[in-house]
Amino acid sequence: MLSERRHIGWHVLLLLICLCVIVPVLFMISNSFKTLQESYHSILQLIPSHPTLSNYRTLDKQINILRMVGNTFLMATLVTLGKVLTGLLSAYGFLNFHFKGKRVVYFLFVATIFVPFTTVMIPNYLVISKMNLLNNVLGVALPQMCDATGIMLFLKAMERVPKSLTESAKVDGIPDRRIFCNIIVPLLKPNIISVGAIFFINSWNEYVWPTLILKDKSSFTLPLALQNYISSEGGTNFPLAMALAVIMIVPPLLIYIVFQRYILSSISNSGLK
């Protein structure tokens, strides 16, 4: 009886947590279909009295949505590819190559996780400015294309690969390049996709760093466009802001749906020795 009550209590707690996650999303979607007047009078009402697509039409007229989606997608893709590639290559090197000071170098890489990005923003900005990459998506992506978190995660994943596979390949005279491409990368496919999805979503939502680099509206990403509708400079228009927020969540959501089985496989395998 006591065990059943505990199970019920845990289920109630999990249900409350789910509601805390779902209700804001429903609030966002609901208000994106309301007029400005209705949103102020019934902002907490989840079902609009008179649903309308006018907010999406207004966004299409006021800003170049497709261009901003393209800018955001390009920036997030460049950052993700950079982090995944540097993470895989660095992890393979730390695991299989032996050189003096390897532990010190690895420790220094991991230590960068604890360095706040705000402390390196100004030096990065000066470098990007000298490279004439201001108002350029590449200027946003370049300083973020290497991440110690990816190195650490991929290293832990590679440690679970049986050493007999790589050792037998080396005995047969197969070079490290082919071992990496034909053995390691295919075995780590779920890990690569799951870590890549996390990197992509984080980059997709990036706001502070693009604010410093991108000043021209033609180079804006979606988070910068969203700020125009919830700031004191551009006024507060909740329906338009919610409509833009709905557009923002669609690509990351599609990525999760498409690669869901790989992400879940990576999570389930992370507990296996």
pLDDT class for 270, splitting at 50, 70, 90? Answer: low
> Backbone dihedral region of 100: left (phi > 0), alpha (psi from -120 to 50 degrees) or beta?
beta
> For 27-79, how does the pLDDT look when each residue is reduced to its tens digit (9 = 90+)?
899 988 988 888 878 877 888 888 889 889 888 888 888 899 999 999 999 99
pTM (2 d.p.):
0.85
> For 236-261, how does the pLDDT look when each residue is reduced to its tens digit (9 = 90+)?
778 888 999 999 999 888 888 888 87
pLDDT class for 235, splitting at 50, 70, 90? Answer: low
The stretch 147-158 carries a mean pLDDT of 90
pLDDT class for 271, splitting at 50, 70, 90? Answer: very low
Q: How many other CB atoms are there within 10 angstroms of residue 73's CB atom?
A: 17
Q: Measuring CA to CA, which residue among 245, 249, 237, 220 is closest to residue 66?
A: 220
Indicate if the pLDDT at residue 272 is higher than 50.
no
Q: Give backbone dihedrals phi and psi of 53, rounded to 5 degrees, phi first.
A: -100, 10
> For 76-127, how does the pLDDT look when each residue is reduced to its tens digit (9 = 90+)?
999 999 999 999 999 999 988 888 888 899 998 888 888 888 888 999 999 9
Indicate if the pLDDT at residue 1 is higher than 70.
no
